[in-house]
Amino acid sequence: MTNLVDLAIRAHGGFDRFNAFSSLTAKLHQGGILWGLKGKPTVLEDCHVRVDLRDERVSHWPFAPTMNHSVFTPSRVAIETPDGAVVEELVDPRSSFEGYEMETHWSNPQVAYFAGYTMWTYLTSPFILKRPGVVSDEVEPWQENGETWRRLHVCFPDDIATHSREQTFYFNPQGLLVRHDYEVDIQGRNAAARYLADYVEIDGISLPSRMRIFPRGSNNTPLAAPLIVSVDLSDFRFE
């Protein structure tokens, strides 16, 4: 049987092609109940995102209603003006979420931290599975939507900021990532299932333009409601 990591990377365009680029920029529209629960219903509803493909570094802009942008890294996150002046910042940002639950409000730097590691994980997958320290093992397949999806149980190292150390990636028969499970550690470890659809090919790389995240039940099936987060991406540009 074909190694699943290799199959997935080939299906998404190949590692050599992905490594030819240093960043990815896209237009982003987000919805779902999460943002209102965090007290930030529109701050990143319509924005742009730029993801560094080599280092875990991300920027979102604008932080409505301002024209400010974020600068995210795992160890520090800041909100800056268009001229680069720091408005707010968090050093060791993950520690600021200690004790937080689903309904706990976030500051703008906390939004930037969550949105930063989220979009970096999403837009570098499945290529992220080849990064140093990332360990993946194929586990039993999963039946859904009349298809058999092969699955990877993935453990991330401490130096990668992401939802949780252990996650599960599901791939369709063609090798495209179609589902992604995790627990959101920074908001009470709520279990989620992310669904990916409407793939587009940009410069030889296949990218999902539509994502929907739902709660995940104890039997590993998603709940129909509520929709936690919706993500719609367009105007992709590799550099």
CA distance 139 to 141: 6
State pLDDT tens for residues 173-195.
999 999 999 999 999 899 999 99
CA-based nearest residue to 40, from 18, 74, 17, 63:
63
State pLDDT tens for residues 6-30.
999 999 999 999 999 999 999 999 9
User: Taking the chain (239 residues) in consecutive chunks of 10 residues, what is each chunk's mean pLDDT?
Assistant: 89 97 98 97 97 97 97 98 97 96 95 98 97 96 95 97 98 97 94 98 98 96 95 98
CA distance 155 to 166: 5
Residue 44 structure tokens: 């990143």
Q: For residue 234, how far is the Cα from the chain centroid? A: 16
Which pLDDT belongs to residue 1? 52
Angle at the Cα of 113 from the Cα atoms of 108 and 117, rounded to 5 degrees: 150
φ/ψ of 204, rounded to 5, equals 85, 0
Which pLDDT belongs to residue 145? 87
Which pLDDT belongs to residue 2? 65
pTM of the prediction?
0.96
CA distance 86 to 55: 21
Q: How many domains does the chain have?
A: 1
Q: What is the CATH number of the domain that holds 35?
A: 2.50.20
Which pLDDT belongs to residue 173? 95
CA distance 74 to 72: 7
Domain that holds residue 108: 4-238
Residue 29 structure tokens: 């529209």
